[in-house]
Chains A and B, each alone.
Chain A
Amino acid sequence: MEICIPVRRNSPAALRLLRACLAALRPAAETQDPARAALNARAERLLDTCGDSVLRLAYSYLHNKADAEEVLQDTLLQFLRTAPELESDEHARAWLLHVAANLAKNRIAYNRVRSADELSEELAADGREDLSFVWEAVRALPARYREAVHLFYCEGYSTAEIARILSEKEATVRSHLSRGREKLREVLKEAYDFE
C-alpha cells in the first residue's frame, strides 16, 4: 500500500507527522520489552504443544467447544499474567492442566456453560454410534470420576501425577478412577475398553 503525504520541505510539523506514521507502522516486536516478548513467544509455543491437551480437558468438563476454547484462552492469559517459573515442558503442561481444570470447574459452579455438545453431534453425524455410546457414558460420569478417567486415559498421566494436577490425594484419585471404571463397565458392557 502506498501512502502519499503532501508536505512542505523541512516543515517541523510534517516531520513530526511522518515520524508518527513510521512509528505506528513499526512492527510491535521492535518496541516490545524483551522479557515480555519471550513470555509471549513461550505462550504461543505452549498453545502449539499443549493446546490440544488443555482444550480436551476443558471439553471433558464443559462439553462445549466455545466454552473449552475460552478456558484454553483464559489459561494462557493466566500464564502471561503470572509468568510462573516452569522448568520443563512437562511441568508447563501440568501447570496449564491444573489451571484449566480449576477454570472449567469454576464455570460449572457459576452455570456459565452452554448446552450444545458438538462432539455428540459430530459423532452422530459421522455415523459413529460406537464412539457416541462411549462418549455418552463418559459424559454421564460425575465430574470427579470423569477428570481422573480423562487424565489417565487421554493424557496418560499416572495417578500420582493426576493427584498433583488436581491438588488431590493420590488415594482419592485412585478411588475416583476405580469407581469411574466400574460405572463405565456397567454401562458399556462389551464395548468397555478402558484397560
Chain B
Amino acid sequence: MSEKYGEIMEQVKVTAEMRARILANLRAAETDAPARPLRFPQARRLAALAACLAVVLGGFLLWRSMNREPDGDTAVVSPVTDCASAAELSAALGFDIGDMTSLPFTPVSSVYTALDGKVGQISYTGAAGETALYRKSRGTEDNSGDYNSYPDRAAAAVGGAQAELRGTDGVYVLAVWTDGTYACSLSLTPGLSAGQWSAVLAALD
C-alpha cells in the first residue's frame, strides 16, 4: 500500500455541506423522475411547486448572470450544436453521419445534434412514442452515454464489424460497435430481440 497516496486522498471527503447539497439536488431531481409512480393529485401539487421553483430559480439565474464576474478557472464549453439535417451535422463534425433507414418504426421527428463538435447524435421519435438515439464519433470509445449494467449481452453483425447488444431478459435496448476508426451506438425504446436487432443493424453500411 502507499501511505502517502492514502494520506493525500484523505483530504478528499464528502463534507456535511456537500452531503446536504447532494441530497437536496437528488430530491429536486426526483420530482421529474419518470420511473416514480405518481398519483394524480400529488403530481399536480409537485408540478405547481416545480413551476414556482422554476420561476424563482430562473429569476435568480438571470440576476446572477447579469451581476457575476467572469469565472477565470472554469473552462466549460457549450457542448451542444443543433443542425438541420444529417448533411449539416456531417459538415459540422468533419465526418459522415447518415440518417438511420432501418429503424423498427417510422420517425415523425428527427433532431440532429453535434456534441462538442466530436459526437454526432440523431434522435428519432415515432408516432407511438418510440425513440431511437444514434451516435457516431471518431475513435473506439463507447459513446452511448448509457452506464446501466445490463445482464444480457449478445452480438450482431453490422457492416464488417460486430455490435454488442445489451439488455435484460432477452430484450436488448442498446447496441455499440466500432469499425476501428469510428465508434457508434444505437439506443432503442422499446427494446428488440437479438434477431430484430440483427435486421436493423444489417441494413447499415
Residues of chain A touching chain B, judged by Cβ–Cβ distance below 8 Å, are 23-24, 31, 33, 36, 40, 43-44, 47-48, 51-52, 55-56, 59-60, 65, 68-69, 72-73, 76-78, 80-84, 95, 98-99, 102-103, 105-106, 109-116, 119, 122-123, 130-131, 134-135, 138, 149, 153-154, 156, 191, 193-195
Contacts and interface: CB of A to CB of B under 8 A. Distances in A.
A134 B8 contact: yes
Interface in B40-74: 42, 45, 73-74
Instruction: Give me the 9 closest cross-chain CB pairs, A-B, nearest first.
Output: A51-B14, A116-B73, A102-B147, A194-B2, A134-B4, A153-B2, A73-B22, A59-B12, A114-B74
A193 B2 contact: yes
A60 B2 CA distance: 15
Nearest to A135: B8
Interface string B1-40: 1111111110111100011011101110110010111000
A56 B9 contact: yes
A109 B141 contact: yes
Given A69-B22, A78-B147, A115-B75, A130 B35 contact: no
Contacts of A82: 148
A44 B30 CA distance: 13
A134 B1 contact: no
Most buried by A among B18, B21, B22: B22
B12 A115 contact: no
Given A40-B30, A154-B9, A73 B4 contact: no
Contacts of A111: 75, 77, 79, 116
A83 B12 CA distance: 27
Given A40-B26, A193-B2, 20 more contacts: A33-B37, A47-B23, A52-B14, A55-B13, A60-B9, A72-B14, A72-B22, A76-B26, A77-B26, A81-B35, A95-B149, A103-B147, A110-B118, A113-B75, A114-B75, A122-B11, A123-B11, A153-B6, A156-B1, A194-B2
B145 interface: yes
Most buried by B among A48, A80, A156: A80
Contacts of A48: 19
Interface of B: 1-9, 11-14, 18-19, 21-23, 25-27, 29-30, 33, 35-37, 42, 45, 73-77, 79, 115-116, 118-119, 141, 145, 147-149
Q: Is the interface of A mostly helix, strand, loop or mixed?
A: helix
Given A59-B12, A112-B79, A131 B25 contact: no
A36 B33 CA distance: 11
Contacts of B14: 47, 51-52, 55, 72
A99 B147 contact: yes
A75 B73 CA distance: 25
A194 B8 CA distance: 13
B119 to A, nearest CB: 8
B116 A110 contact: yes
13 contacts: A24-B45, A40-B27, A44-B23, A69-B21, A84-B148, A103-B147, A111-B116, A112-B77, A119-B12, A123-B11, A135-B8, A138-B8, A156-B1
Nearest to B143: A109
A156 to B, nearest CB: 8
Given A73-B25, A134-B4, A191-B4, A110 B12 contact: no
B158 to A, nearest CB: 20
A56 B12 contact: yes
A68 B12 contact: yes
